[in-house]
């Protein structure tokens, strides 16, 4: 079992009077918007770059907080003021040699500081933290691995195990990077033990991620404040996955199929761009015999109905991903997916594999031949869960 990974966040001190201003005007904010919004996180983590030359900090957008927070952090790490650096760089003709890069991305910000400092003291009253440790870069953990990365909260341990087992057995996934977003039903170590129990997974790392996901789009479908997943994906890329052989980004309620039964990792490596983006279909709650709701699993569901496709997800070869590109929830900005390779991959999104955190998705549905069609390819692949004895995992809280 891998040792726990530490994060070094930077958060505003609420009593200091400074906070992030929501980008969404009040008339378009849903009732729970302010309770879900991240007012105080400046950066989720502070860590060393892969080449060792930079301190990397990833977090929500800074916007009007930048003029206060960025110079303070530059001073803390003894990075010379930007105006001085710009003047020297212009004189030397090396504009690109600046010791600071502030990247404003979609629902995300990154601060790169060229400094060899390992620790910094922070001024009182502005931040909650009084000092900041620069965490190590952990690319070596996943070097050469076929990785699946995800974020989850309170999903059943058996769902997590089945999801990992499916992609290990069918696709040759041998590593999982798992962000636990403040689960309350079990401990982080329970997720770690669950993943460690899956045959074929030889590297599994669970990150405790206590930050707010942020409010969704609401009735007006305005997506501008859901910072959490955008932070997770760029954090995963910059601290852990840049030397992985290939990476898939999907959720626990999603399984991947390919048209000819081959591994998505093989398809991706053979692609022209090293990037595939694939949609798929929703798998409905209809079953011939309804399972016990408390015991439902992916394997119980393989019927679909005609309708809008599930939102796309993606996979990438990190070595082919430009530095300026951004890993996002449903695509990668700054890369073109290989259309031929993407057409060979498809997604199955299960309505029943849900804790109903977003909407009441789990409702048993009677099988109706006029509405529902069997997904025969999925049904065939789900038979792997009937092969041999089921591996054991710790029960969820409340189970016996």
Listing DSSP states for 82-100 in one string gives HHHHHHHHHHHT-GGG-SE
User: Beta strands 100-105 and 131-133: pairing type?
Assistant: unpaired
What's the pLDDT score for residue 80? 74
Q: What pLDDT shows up at residue 373? A: 96
pLDDT of 247 above 60: yes
Reading the block at residue 217, the tokens are: 């789009």
pLDDT score at 2: 84
Q: Are 238 and 37 in contact (CB under 8 A)?
A: no
Helix (H, G, I), strand (E, B) or coil at 271: coil
Q: pLDDT confidence of 92, banded at 50, 70, 90?
A: very low
What is the rounded CA–CA span in Å between residue 312 and residue 345?
11
Quick one: tokens of 220? 């007006």
Q: Which residues pair with 113 in a beta bridge?
A: 55, 100
Q: How many CB atoms lie within 10 A of CB 190?
A: 20
CA neighbor of 48 nearest in space, from 141, 131, 133: 133
User: In the chain, pLDDT over 90 holds for what percent of residues?
Assistant: 82
Tell me what pLDDT residue 97 has. Answer: 59
CA distances from residue 216 to 150, 225, 226, 229 in whole angstroms, order as listed: 18, 7, 6, 11
139-386 CATH, one of 1.10.3660, 3.30.9, 3.30.70, 3.90.550: 3.90.550
Beta pairing, strands 254-258 & 345-350: antiparallel
Residue 141 CA to residue 149 CA, distance in Å, equals: 14
Retrieve residue 102's tokens.
């502030």
216 vs 88, higher pLDDT? 216
Q: DSSP states of 271-328 as a string?
A: SSSSEEEEEEEEEPSEESSPPPGGG--GGG--EE-SSSPEEEEEEE-GGGS-TT-EE-
Q: What is the mean pLDDT of residues 210-226?
A: 95
Tell me what pLDDT residue 356 has: 62
Query: Distance between CA 382 and CA 256 in Å, rounded?
Result: 11
Is the pLDDT at 392 greater than 60, yes or no?
A: no
56's torsion region: left (phi>0), alpha (psi -120 to 50) or beta? beta
Mean pLDDT of 123-127: 93
Place of tokens 């869960």: 385
Q: Is the pLDDT of residue 124 over 90?
A: no
pLDDT band at 89 (very low <50, low <70, confident <90, very high): very low
pLDDT at 29: 96
Count CB atoms within 10 A of the CB of residue 176.
Answer: 27
pLDDT band for 83, please (50, 70, 90 cuts).
Answer: low
* 275, 335 Cβ separation under 8 angstroms: yes
Whether 204 shows a pLDDT value over 70: the answer reads yes
The rounded distance, in Å, linking the Cα atoms of 65 and 396 is 41
Task: Work out the percent of the chain whose per-residue pLDDT is above 70.
Answer: 91
Stretch 326-331: mean pLDDT: 98
More confident residue, 222 or 288: 222
Q: What whole-number distance in Å separates Cα of residue 27 and Cα of residue 341?
A: 43
In order, the DSSP letters of 62-86 are -GGGHHHHHHHHHHHTTPPPHHHHH
pLDDT of residue 293: 77
Residue 385 backbone class (left: φ over 0; alpha: ψ -120 to 50; beta: rest): alpha
**Average pLDDT across the chain, whole number:** 91
Does position 94 have pLDDT exceeding 60, yes or no? no
**pLDDT of 15-71, one tens digit each?**
999 999 999 999 999 999 999 999 999 999 999 999 999 999 999 999 899 999 999
User: What is the model's pLDDT at position 360?
Assistant: 60
* Mean pLDDT confidence for 370-391: 84
pLDDT at 387: 67
Q: Residue with structure tokens 């909650």?
A: 128
pLDDT of 36: 97
Q: What confidence score (pLDDT) does residue 322 get?
A: 97
Give me the sheet containing 100-105, strands edge to edge.
45-48, 54-59, 108-114, 100-105
- What's residue 82's pLDDT? 61
- Per-domain boundaries in the chain: 10-133, 139-386
- Which residue matches tokens 């569901």? 301
Least confident of 73-77, 251-255, 354-358: 354-358
Q: Are 171 and 146 in contact (CB under 8 A)?
A: yes
- The pLDDT of 352-363, averaged and rounded, is 71
43 vs 388 pLDDT, higher one: 43
**Stretch 149-158: mean pLDDT, rounded?**
96
Give pLDDT, residue 37: 98
362 vs 359: CA distance, rounded Å: 9
Strands (E), 20-124: 41-43, 45-48, 54-59, 100-105, 108-114, 119-121
Tell me which DSSP letter residue 21 carries: P
The answer to whether 129 touches 9, Cβ cutoff 8 Å, is yes
């Amino acid at each position: 079992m891998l040792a726990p990974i530490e994060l070094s966040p930077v958060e505003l001190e609420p009593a200091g009077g400074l906070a992030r201003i929501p980008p969404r005007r009040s008339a378009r904010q849903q009732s729970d918007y302010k309770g879900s919004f991240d007012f105080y996180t400046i950066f989720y983590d502070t860590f060393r770059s892969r080449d060792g030359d930079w301190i990397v900090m990833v977090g929500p957008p800074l916007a009007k907080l930048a003029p206060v927070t960025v110079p303070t952090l530059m001073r803390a790490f003894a990075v010379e003021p930007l105006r001085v650096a710009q003047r020297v760089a212009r004189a030397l003709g090396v504009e690109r040699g600046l010791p600071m890069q502030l990247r404003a991305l979609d629902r995300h910000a990154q601060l790169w500081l060229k400094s060899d400092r390992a620790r910094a003291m922070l001024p009182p009253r502005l931040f909650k933290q009084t000092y900041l440790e620069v965490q190590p870069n952990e690319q070596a953990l996943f070097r050469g691995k076929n990785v699946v990365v995800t974020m989850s909260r309170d999903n059943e341990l058996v769902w997590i195990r089945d999801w990992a087992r499916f992609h290990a057995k069918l696709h040759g996934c041998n590593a999982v990077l798992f962000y636990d977003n403040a689960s309350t039903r079990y401990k982080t170590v329970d997720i770690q033990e669950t993943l460690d129990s899956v045959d074929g997974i030889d590297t599994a790392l669970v990150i405790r991620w206590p930050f707010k996901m942020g409010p969704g789009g609401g009735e007006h479908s305005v997506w501008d404040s859901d910072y959490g997943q955008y932070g997770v994906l760029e954090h995963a890329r910059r601290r852990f996955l840049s030397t992985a052989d290939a990476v898939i980004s999907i959720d626990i309620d999603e399984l991947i199929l390919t048209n000819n039964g081959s591994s998505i990792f093989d398809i991706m490596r053979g692609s022209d761009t090293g990037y595939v983006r694939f949609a798929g279909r929703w798998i409905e709650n209809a079953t011939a015999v309804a399972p016990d709701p408390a015991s439902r699993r992916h394997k119980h569901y393989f019927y679909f109905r005609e309708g809008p496709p599930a939102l796309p997800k993606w996979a990438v070869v990190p070595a082919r991903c430009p530095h300026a590109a951004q890993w996002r929830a449903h695509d990668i900005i700054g890369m073109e997916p290989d259309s031929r390779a993407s057409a060979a991959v498809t997604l199955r999104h299960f309505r029943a594999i849900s804790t109903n955190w977003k909407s009441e998705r789990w409702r048993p549905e009677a099988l109706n031949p006029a509405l529902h069609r069997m997904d025969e390819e999925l049904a065939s692949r789900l038979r792997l869960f009937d092969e041999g004895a089921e591996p054991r995992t710790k029960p969820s809280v409340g189970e016996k």
